[in-house]
Chains A and B, each alone.
Chain A
Amino acid sequence: MRDFEYEAPTTLANAIAVLAKNNGSARPLAGGTDLIDHVRCGRLEPDVVVDVKKIDELNVLELNDSGLRLGAATPCYRIYGCPEISQQYAALTDSCRIIGGIQIQSRASVGGNICNSGPAADSTPSVIVLGGICVIEGPGGRREVPAEEFCTGPGKNVLKPGELLVEIKFPARPANSGSHYRRFIPRNEMDIAVVGVGASVVLDDSKENIVSARVALGAVAPTPLYVPAVGDAIAGQPANEDTLRKAGAVAKELVTPITDMRGTAEYRVHLTGVLTERVLQAAISRARGEAICTKIGH
């Protein structure tokens, strides 16, 4: 491991200044669960590590009538520790509960997960389907990017040198809505998604028909993949098995997975269909106010 400098600014302005000064050779550190491993194994060799956990704006966790504000460094345990968030933004807390073990969840952040930009990131599909907007600040000022446009390739994203993800904003949840995230892993915990699926659905007042749906897929493309065609295919349809099967079939057509040690391309395509159906079913159940099975291994 190569030597590096450590900075821990307490204001956003100072953080941006440090990042900008070290143009490209500085890495922000939130929970560090990815960064520390990257540095330790020599995959990254930053000159400066900028600890962003001491900045107030990055630790916001605020739920009100207009939606949810999630500071980029807010650790997973705070998110799932809030019953209202767990109830309204269930897909997000589903993700936060399965990222690593308890020690990891005490540090790892949803903001860090999306900035690491791994194709199999567990929280990014949830952020996408819940309509998350990434608020970015840099030397050139503030800008907003929809979560589905944030990642641009494995380990790559829209952040420019000196820019920092400050928070993710989520709109308020509509009535009769439900969401879910689930991944397939060979073990029951402590594993990387072979395929991950996030879904959010809005039902009509009868709770029998789908008004709209958003689906995002993990580990089946170079980035977490928002698939609007799946939502389009089932909007206005009855919330039944046929519709779910159709959703699964559409999703399978949209993915471009690779074969690696975690699964073959063929298997990932198959799982995309299976999981899309299962996750949409669970999101529908939640929209109906029904409990879903979250037993380990199911």
Chain B
Amino acid sequence: MATAEKPKYKVIGTRPIRHDGVDKVTGRAQYGADVRLTGMLYASMLRSPHAHAKITKIDTSKAEALSGVRAVLTSADLPEQGDRIVELGEGAVNMRHLSANVLARDKVLYRGHAIAGVAADNIHIAQEAVKLIEVEYEVLPPVLDVRKAMKADAPVLNDDVRTESLGSHPADDDNSKPTNVAKHFVFASGDVEAGFAEADVIVEREYTTATVHQGYIEPHNATVQWNADGKVTVWMSTQGTFSARQQTAELHRIPVSDVKVIPMEIGGGFGGKISVYLPPVAAGLSQKTGRPVKLIMDRTDVFEATGPTPGSYVRVKLGVKKDGTITAGDAWVAFEAGAYPGSPIAPGCMCVFSCYNVPNGHVEGFDVCVNKPRTNAYRAPGSPNVAFATESVVDEICEKIGMDPIEFRLKNAAKEGVRRVDGPVYGRVGMVETVEAIRDSNHWQSPLEGPNRGRGTATGFWFNCGLKSAATATVNYDGTVSLLEGSTDIGGSRVSLAMQTAETLGIPAEAVKPTVGDTDAVGFTDVTGGSRVTFATGIACIEAARDIIRQLETRAALIWECDASAVSYEDGGLNGPDGARMSFVEIAGKLHATGGSIVGRGTSSEADQSGAFGTHAVDVEVDPDTGKVQILRYTIAQDAGTAIHPSYVEGQLQGGVVQGIGWALNEEYWYDDKGSMRNPTYLDYRVPTCYDVPMIETIIVEVPDPGHPYGVRGVGEVPICPPQAAIANAIYAAVGVRMRDLPMSPPKVCKAILEKRAEGNGAS
């Protein structure tokens, strides 16, 4: 921990055992795949073998005739959506596109695109039946690269997509015919031309990043019962029960209150378990059969049809004075949306210069459809792509002007009062503190010796969001509290929410028993995403605890026969007139005699976060003959505001770094020219294993966020932003090659080294 001067907390900052720990380590925790209901059917999906094709005919008759098959569902069974845009928490969604992604209508837009579902007595019959569905395709040429998809002669995926101009001049965007370019953003500030004219050194470089997947271990799943009374129950793994409820209801055009989503434990999401794929299909099959239907993806389905995060092309130009002061920045960013519009191009454009005070800036961004699965959120969506570019350019600039990269960052750092190119002015943020923490770390201060070794650094930013949460807390007469909240627990949020409740009430974390409620049990709560749960659902829990305190004070006033204003709650108990004192446990024991249950209620909707920064340092060793990069040492310093449960903050930091390392070094969707992903398994889609990463050293910096009672900042997303550039910068320091295309896999690094050697030989 780096920052001193914080209030003395009793619970916050300690490391209690998580409430769901025993269930998780003993295997008793119930995941979606564990759901078994009486009379349950098993379903399987038909998926497109083509990356781009028109569907001219679907004949399901042979599948329906197979013994043991109970129902077949195609897009013809789902209601038409028309031109509806629906707000779904983290963003607005075009319902026609969402529906066509769940079950393709007239076209398939990527390999693995769902076409039909079959429910049968067992999974083997369902799988056999899928093979009996006859589909006639008119195969079309696929387009798999963002820049190719932007060209005038590129195959166009969606007839209904025209360029939406946001900040750009509409006259610049040809809207006379369908296009793959769904959005065109422009952000500008200051006078860019003058800014570059002022610069002594200008560096402009191009970068590409491959399509990568969130890589959660647990595949998507859903079990749905559509009752005779029209009420639908969904058991599933999701990041947001209310979002899943809304999507399922909207896709079937039934009232949201007719759908209940029961969250099962979740084996990872990272943004990829917000959009629904399976519940509408299982619901349709259940409606047809009257029986519960279970649908689970296999790993190939997960890779081919869910996630991923966009492949991208980013060009960044930065101008600085000799003393290192940034004078201007210009960026051109194009993200692959996948099959339907909706890449995180907006946050990408906002993040590209977010770590620095860029007085004159221009950012242009494009959301572009390609024949890959429709992209979804992945940990700080859009930010790692652009951070790779900007943080690499910064490293080149530092080399050119002979400035230490730490000094450069301290000089130009985003801080309170700095305006981002897209407009907002920063509040109290902790970038400077994270850079200083790295500078002062044992890692940065230790020499790195040996051939082919190098050290790199980079900084990253993510906004974090607030959105809406709800919680209720019920006092039990044994002195404990049952906490019911709506955020599905991905990263240990049950414990961090229980701890904030406990801190507010002045009782032990173990005395609060957290439960994640279903959509009928708890108030509307937005998705577990945007690093918002510990912050926003935390506020709801604190509010619920404060509501309890108000009620306890009234009860105590009854007992002490005084005015409630003469009672105060402090340090886990009530103070009354004449030094009277009653602990939380004591007053809880008198609940039934003083008026019955006490239920505290809390919500959060207005609060917003000030954003979070992290700075990383990495040492690598490069095998100069094979191009393989080993991570020798890695340190992350990140502003957590106030770390509620430091172990889970460290876990988020380490997890984000490991995913960043995978993205940097080996992860990529490897496509053949027909648009088939050739590595849809964990054998060939190479996420790092424990042999590939050292223990990630963590430094928790605490610059409290003024928007939260205890100063919490979200921590989940920022850590994935800097690793790609930090590692690229370290590779340069090790072997002198600048890697500008992700992943920096052994063949690419080897090629760059061999080319550099050849140049060296040519010169001598």
In this assembly, does B758 line the interface, its C-beta being within 8 Å of a C-beta of chain A? Answer: no
In this assembly, does A297 line the interface, its C-beta being within 8 Å of a C-beta of chain B? Answer: yes
In this assembly, does B689 line the interface, its C-beta being within 8 Å of a C-beta of chain A? Answer: yes
In this assembly, does A52 line the interface, its C-beta being within 8 Å of a C-beta of chain B? Answer: no
From A3, A261, A271, contact of B626 by CB (8 A): A271
Q: Which residue of B lies closest to A296 (CB)?
A: B691
Chain A window 258-290, contacts with chain B (Cβ cutoff 8 Å), 1 for yes, 0 for no: 001111100100110010000000000000000
From B124, B666, B670, B747, contact of A1 by CB (8 A): B124
- Is the beta-carbon distance between A191 and B683 smaller than 8 angstroms? yes
Which chain B positions have C-beta within 8 A of A271? 626
In this assembly, does B625 line the interface, its C-beta being within 8 Å of a C-beta of chain A? Answer: yes
Complex Cα–Cα for A184 and B626 (A): 8
CB of B151, distance to nearest CB on chain A (Å)? 25
In this assembly, does A240 line the interface, its C-beta being within 8 Å of a C-beta of chain B? Answer: no
**Which of A188, A191, A261, A296 is the most central at the interface, judged by chain B CB atoms within 10 Å of its CB?**
A261
From B124, B745, B751, contact of A186 by CB (8 A): B745
- Is the beta-carbon distance between A188 and B750 smaller than 8 angstroms? no
Complex Cα–Cα for A192 and B683 (A): 8
Complex Cα–Cα for A151 and B137 (A): 39
Q: Which residue of A lies closest to B746 (CB)?
A: A186
- Is the beta-carbon distance between B678 and A187 smaller than 8 angstroms? no
- Is the beta-carbon distance between B124 and A264 smaller than 8 angstroms? no
CB of A44, distance to nearest CB on chain B (Å)? 15
- Is the beta-carbon distance between B750 and A267 smaller than 8 angstroms? yes
- Is the beta-carbon distance between B686 and A191 smaller than 8 angstroms? yes
Which residues between 227 and 275 of chain A lie within 8 Å of chain B, taking CB atoms? 260-264, 267, 270-271, 274
CB of B342, distance to nearest CB on chain A (Å)? 27
Complex Cα–Cα for A261 and B210 (A): 13
From B127, B625, B670, contact of A261 by CB (8 A): B670
**Which of A3, A191, A194 is the most central at the interface, judged by chain B CB atoms within 10 Å of its CB?**
A191
- Is the beta-carbon distance between A188 and B692 smaller than 8 angstroms? yes
- Is the beta-carbon distance between A297 and B630 smaller than 8 angstroms? yes
Which residues between 138 and 188 of chain B lie within 8 Å of chain A, taking CB atoms? none
From B124, B689, B746, contact of A189 by CB (8 A): B689
- Is the beta-carbon distance between B124 and A187 smaller than 8 angstroms? no
Interface size on B, residues (CB 8 A): 25
From B128, B670, B686, B751, contact of A187 by CB (8 A): B686
In this assembly, does A43 line the interface, its C-beta being within 8 Å of a C-beta of chain B? Answer: no
Given contacts A1-B127, A274-B625, contact A188 B747 (CB under 8 A): no
Which chain A positions have C-beta within 8 A of B626? 184, 271, 274
CB of B511, distance to nearest CB on chain A (Å)? 41
Chain A window 162-190, contacts with chain B (Cβ cutoff 8 Å), 1 for yes, 0 for no: 00000000000000000000001011111
Complex Cα–Cα for A184 and B670 (A): 19
Which chain A positions have C-beta within 8 A of B563? none
In this assembly, does B321 line the interface, its C-beta being within 8 Å of a C-beta of chain A? Answer: no
Q: Which residue of A lies closest to B680 (CB)?
A: A261
CB of A90, distance to nearest CB on chain B (Å)? 22
CB of B17, distance to nearest CB on chain A (Å)? 28
Which chain A positions have C-beta within 8 A of B692? 187-189, 297
Interface size on A, residues (CB 8 A): 23
CB of A129, distance to nearest CB on chain B (Å)? 21
CB of B39, distance to nearest CB on chain A (Å)? 23
Given contacts A1-B124, A3-B124, contact A187 B666 (CB under 8 A): yes
In this assembly, does B688 line the interface, its C-beta being within 8 Å of a C-beta of chain A? Answer: yes
**Which of A1, A186, A187, A267 is the most central at the interface, judged by chain B CB atoms within 10 Å of its CB?**
A186
Which chain B positions have C-beta within 8 A of A1? 124, 127
- Is the beta-carbon distance between A261 and B684 smaller than 8 angstroms? yes
Complex Cα–Cα for A292 and B614 (A): 41
- Is the beta-carbon distance between A264 and B747 smaller than 8 angstroms? yes
- Is the beta-carbon distance between A297 and B691 smaller than 8 angstroms? yes
CB of A200, distance to nearest CB on chain B (Å)? 23
Which chain A positions have C-beta within 8 A of B678? 260-261
Which residues between 17 and 46 of chain B lie within 8 Å of chain A, taking CB atoms? none
In this assembly, does B590 line the interface, its C-beta being within 8 Å of a C-beta of chain A? Answer: no
In this assembly, does B628 line the interface, its C-beta being within 8 Å of a C-beta of chain A? Answer: yes
Which chain B positions have C-beta within 8 A of A184? 626, 628, 746
Complex Cα–Cα for A45 and B124 (A): 13
Which chain B positions have C-beta within 8 A of A261? 670, 678-679, 684
- Is the beta-carbon distance between B683 and A186 smaller than 8 angstroms? no
Chain B window 666-689, contacts with chain A (Cβ cutoff 8 Å), 1 for yes, 0 for no: 100010000000110001101011
CB of A135, distance to nearest CB on chain B (Å)? 31
CB of A184, distance to nearest CB on chain B (Å)? 6
Chain B window 120-140, contacts with chain A (Cβ cutoff 8 Å), 1 for yes, 0 for no: 000010011000000000000
CB of A138, distance to nearest CB on chain B (Å)? 33
**Which of A189, A264, A297 is the most central at the interface, judged by chain B CB atoms within 10 Å of its CB?**
A297
- Is the beta-carbon distance between A267 and B751 smaller than 8 angstroms? yes
Which chain B positions have C-beta within 8 A of A192? 683-684
Which residues between 627 and 675 of chain B lie within 8 Å of chain A, taking CB atoms? 628, 630, 665-666, 670
Given contacts A186-B686, A271-B626, contact A2 B746 (CB under 8 A): no
Which chain B positions have C-beta within 8 A of A274? 625-626
Complex Cα–Cα for A107 and B745 (A): 32
Complex Cα–Cα for A194 and B746 (A): 11
CB of B123, distance to nearest CB on chain A (Å)? 8
- Is the beta-carbon distance between B666 and A186 smaller than 8 angstroms? yes
Q: Which residues of B contact A (CB under 8 A)?
A: 124, 127-128, 625-626, 628, 630, 665-666, 670, 678-679, 683-684, 686, 688-689, 691-692, 745-747, 750-751, 754
A–B complex contacts, Cβ < 8 Å, 15 sampled: A1-B124, A186-B628, A186-B686, A186-B746, A189-B691, A189-B692, A190-B691, A191-B686, A260-B678, A261-B678, A262-B684, A263-B746, A267-B746, A267-B747, A271-B626
Counting from the closest, the 3 A-B pairs by CB-CB distance are: A261-B670, A188-B691, A267-B747
Q: Which residues of A contact B (CB under 8 A)?
A: 1-3, 184, 186-192, 194, 260-264, 267, 270-271, 274, 296-297
